[in-house]
Structure 1
């Protein structure tokens, strides 16, 4: 399949997978603390990736490891904890909406730091999509006035981390296979994750036998294997066969899936949010339209 068609397939798959990740985070937090969730998500994903692609690590040269390490913390480790803490105070659907600022941040960082070129359609599309995101945020705030929206800043910080990661992969790791990047990321993160988990109180006897914790571990395992492990490989490939702006435009379609899950989980949702979601889709179309 040609890259022009393949990138859209990846975009759809990642939208479905990552759109479902926010509700999985919410369910995982029923029995786990944010620190435990972030650490376990990293460790489960690491185990899965090592089983299917550990040999790919030998293709990473010594000079590449600094970029792999930065990518690991910016693209995976830090956001995992930021989202976990954020969803202790804001709905999963709202968190996914705030994550939609990633393409805008990616374009800004790409132009200012990584010398990335952009065209008028990309700028217009990002701004249109961003307007849709703002509409969703304001509507969400009116529907859920009791939520602490200061925690929304954590999601915005995660968006900055994602933007850094995407630009680094596109500029410095084009020659490394997506599987090798993913495995390299997690070989770097295993020790930090184990240290955090050890200090989180997870290994206390009363924690491990708690039925809520055991149920949460199932959700974390699904989140780690599908939402982090498999999705990480697909996203790395998407970055390599498209542009940073196209790759991060997946964050514009993620809220649609996340909000649908939120409705099923009895989160409040209005017709205005449906309209805002339509604006987001329009933004994605304009961003990726030919010059």
Structure 2
């Protein structure tokens, strides 16, 4: 029988991969900023309940609030908003495949700002290969007349860059604070809910109730499962399997998003798209392999 951590590993990949079709359905009725706000709101509720139940929150943590604000912007508010905008402009399968670029931007920003992240031939080759895959998806040589919305690609890249920078910021400034991950996620999501709440145009936000499927996808799929429960599962996997093995869950969402878009929604997926996804994931694998080679052997 597979371990509970391994089950959570695959469930998390499926949950993250399904987020893109849920965003697509929701964006048909409400704006991307409203999608992002409602997502974090309904994700914050179960996360807060779990943090209170486990007793992980402390008033002493509040002295680090500036770091929580930065993380709420980079790793939640800007990230979720950019992905909601990008998914609204692109087929959900394409948006999902572009999300695989997150580890690429994480590596690039870490190489620039963290001297503890040495460059190797393997990691550089993986990064180059990954960005070639992104170009194959975006097809910028077709210009504005191409089938891929370049603005949508830009939003997806901006979201991937934002969360990539957040990982580097967290490693440099947050990981040394000794705050439990569940507490960090609760502060991060809670502040993002406030930030998005005061910046979102609420006009027409109730339109999501016109479609039961879209409403359930937003509240349950994106919010409760795709944000709140996903954070809990991810930290559990990291605790049980280690950060490097847990990061392997990033391979699953692009494949899931591609399958959902092509098989269940009927989106057009070309051979070039599949090749591009394989190229990106191969690049990510090379980066992860380089990290494993540099990690101390136990």
Fold match, TM over 0.5? yes
| In 2: Cα distance, 1:11 partner to 1:113 partner | 29
Deviation at 1:233, TM superposition (A): 3.5
| In 1: Cα distance, 2:110 partner to 2:116 partner | 5
Name the Cα RMSD after superposition.
3.2
Distance 1:262 1:127, change over 3 A: same
- Aligned equivalent of 1:22: 20
Deviation at 1:215, TM superposition (A): 3.5
| In 2: Cα distance, 1:236 partner to 1:64 partner | 21
Q: What is the DSSP-based 3-state SS (H/G/I as helix, E as strand, rest coil) of the residue aligned with 2:88?
A: coil
Give per-residue Cα distances to partners, 1:101-145, cap 9 Å, x unaligned: 322221221122233313423332333333333333339x79x93
Give per-residue Cα distances to partners, 1:57-96, cap 9 Å, x unaligned: 2176234322222111110111221122222221112222
Deviation at 1:196, TM superposition (A): 4.0
Give runs of aligned pairs for residues 205-216 of structure 1, distance below 5 A: 207=207, 211-212=210-211, 214-216=212-214
- Aligned equivalent of 1:115: 115
Unaligned runs of at least 5 residues, structure 1: none
Give runs of aligned pairs for residues 1-291 of structure 1, distance below 5 A: 12-54=10-52, 55-58=55-58, 61-120=61-120, 121-138=122-139, 145-174=146-175, 175-197=178-200, 199-202=201-204, 207=207, 211-212=210-211, 214-221=212-219, 222-235=221-234, 241-242=242-243, 250-263=249-262, 264-289=264-289, 290-291=292-293
What's the TM-score, normalizing by structure 2?
A: 0.79
- Aligned equivalent of 2:296: none
| In 2: Cα distance, 1:274 partner to 1:152 partner | 17
Distance 1:248 1:122, change over 3 A: farther
Distance 1:157 1:60, change over 3 A: farther
* Residues 106 and 248 in structure 1, CA contact (< 8 A), matched pair in contact too: no
What's the TM-score, normalizing by structure 1?
A: 0.81
Give per-residue Cα distances to partners, 1:190-231, cap 9 Å, x unaligned: 32333345x422466xx47x522x432211112111111122
| In 2: Cα distance, 1:82 partner to 1:238 partner | 26
Deviation at 1:26, TM superposition (A): 0.4
* Residues 90 and 148 in structure 2, CA contact (< 8 A), matched pair in contact too: yes
Give per-residue Cα distances to partners, 1:145-190, cap 9 Å, x unaligned: 3443123211111111101211122233332222111111122123
Q: Which has the larger displacement, 72-81 or 83-92?
A: 83-92
Q: What is the DSSP-based 3-state SS (H/G/I as helix, E as strand, rest coil) of the residue aligned with 2:56?
A: helix
* Residues 129 and 252 in structure 1, CA contact (< 8 A), matched pair in contact too: no
Q: What is the DSSP-based 3-state SS (H/G/I as helix, E as strand, rest coil) of the residue aligned with 1:87?
A: helix
| In 2: Cα distance, 1:226 partner to 1:73 partner | 21
Q: How many residues align?
A: 279
| In 2: Cα distance, 1:17 partner to 1:47 partner | 18
Q: Which runs of 4+ in 1 moved over 6 A?
A: 5-10, 237-240, 246-249
* Residues 82 and 155 in structure 1, CA contact (< 8 A), matched pair in contact too: yes
* Residues 46 and 186 in structure 1, CA contact (< 8 A), matched pair in contact too: yes
| In 2: Cα distance, 1:25 partner to 1:163 partner | 21
Q: What is the DSSP-based 3-state SS (H/G/I as helix, E as strand, rest coil) of the residue aligned with 2:30?
A: coil
